[in-house]
Amino acid sequence: MKKRTSPPSTLENSPAQTGRQNMTTINEFKYINERPVDDISLDFFYKPHTITLLAVSIIGVMYFAFVRDQSDTQENVWAGMVCVIFFFLIVSILAFPNGPFTRPHPVVWRMLFGLSVLYLLFLVFLMFQDYKSIMGIFYWFDPRLRNFKIDMDKEYGANCTDLSFERIWSHVDVFAWGHFLGWAFKAILIRHMGILWAISVMWEITEISFAHLLPNFAECWWDALILDVLVCNGLGIWCGLKICKLLEMREYKWASIRDISSTKGKIKRVVLQFTPESWAPVRWLDPNCTYMRFFAVCQLVLLWQLTELNTFFLKHIFEMPPSHPVVIGRLIFVGLFTAPSVRQYYIYVTDTRCKRLGTQCWVHIAILVMEAILCIKNGKELFERTQVTNIVFWLFVQAAVSMLFIFGCMLWHKYVDGDESQESSPVKQLSRGFKDSAIVSGDSKGKSSVKNSPKTTPTKKVRSQHNSVKAD
């Protein structure tokens, strides 16, 4: 009689275990893409009012369609475009995901996502137009652009030996303040000094490599190294990280506006609605992170370079002044939409349970690529003057410097800041439940999220016990 052997353990690969892991993955993606709102105190602002919204929208459109003067064809086109955008934003509010943030209200982030989809579709439309047709569209929006031409003969990096105080002070203009505020905002988004300095240094290399195509990239050495990198960028990074540190140390205890008796307290609570619900620390790199996570962070640095390059090439190829509303509006829009995109990218890179890239981040990357293709397609005359050696040098230095910076950050976390990084780094265990997602999203720390806050990452002793149980 053959001896019956006990069946092999199927604890890991059982259908129930596989189902739980799949559900955890689905929930994790849903959490960063459709962020729930905890502890709603004013139900009216968070309950669906779809029928009311439909009725008000239709009545409003009917009123303006029948009452307004239709004698001007251009005004009719404008009105039709505004109405299309209006209804698309209404659909965005009803159908699009919240994203990873809920303040000041999920509707704000849904509308921002809707605008990004419209912008992506507009770029796709421009992809199939020739340069003359595209400029005709811009002239239709703003006829004053016909009189503006890019001055290719203007010298930007001249007289570099003049180091007088008056010469240096003349460069501290509105663009210098823009540098400072921009890097403070980037520091608040990324929250990692090593990555920020990598982007800052590599951008100066990018300016040197493309100076033969974009004349305003040609700068004196003291302007690039001292004013840009050390003063404007450095102070911006320092101030942004200081703000992040203060927000991390703050204790978040949100009280309902109904529980506040004084008028001053109610007004203060309304203003605080436009601040983050919480602020969890961010750990892009871990001493024991995989090579895929390493290359993903390097990819973030390269994507950021592409974002900056698109800004300068778009206004140069399609000839717009830096102060034009289209240029300023695009900068503000990209800055706002970058916030949820970076958060979703961070979770996708650091959380092993999240197997899909967030929708907003996906659209953001698509926009960057479409802008780059649009520039290459319509800037043939400009790119014909491209110096191949400069571009090859730029690609090589970008890859080498980004990897060196990120590898240096890993060594720093391993040998200098190892204990803190090890405890705070979002290294997850697949057996943890969906409720652990709160700390990973970085927007659910505080009183309102106690029920959803995760337990700390299991210690080595607990993990070893868990592995021994699985082995048995």
**CA 56 to chain centroid:** 33
Tens digit of pLDDT per residue, the chain (472 long)?
A: 444 444 444 444 454 555 555 555 556 666 666 666 665 566 656 677 778 888 888 888 888 888 888 888 888 888 888 888 988 998 888 888 887 887 787 888 889 999 999 999 999 999 999 999 999 999 988 888 888 887 655 556 667 776 777 777 776 767 778 888 888 999 988 888 888 888 888 888 888 888 888 887 877 777 778 888 888 888 999 999 998 888 876 766 666 666 677 777 777 777 777 777 777 777 787 666 677 788 888 888 888 888 889 999 998 899 888 888 899 999 999 989 898 999 889 888 887 777 888 889 999 999 999 999 999 999 888 887 777 787 888 888 888 888 887 788 777 777 776 544 444 444 443 333 334 333 333 343 333 333 343 344 444 444 444 444 344 4
Contact 34, 101 (CB under 8 A): no
Contact 28, 354 (CB under 8 A): yes
Whole-model pTM over 0.85: no
Q: Which helix (H) or strand (E) holds 233?
A: none
Contact 176, 360 (CB under 8 A): no
Q: What's phi and psi for 34, nearest 5 deg?
A: -135, 65
Contact 302, 402 (CB under 8 A): yes
Determine the Cα–Cα distance for residues 328 and 257; give it in Å rounded to an integer.
36
Length of the chain: 472
Nearest CA-CA partner of 193 in 244, 227, 231, 228? 244
Residues 6+ apart with CB under 8 A from 222: 160, 163, 168
Determine the Cα–Cα distance for residues 418 and 411; give it in Å rounded to an integer.
9
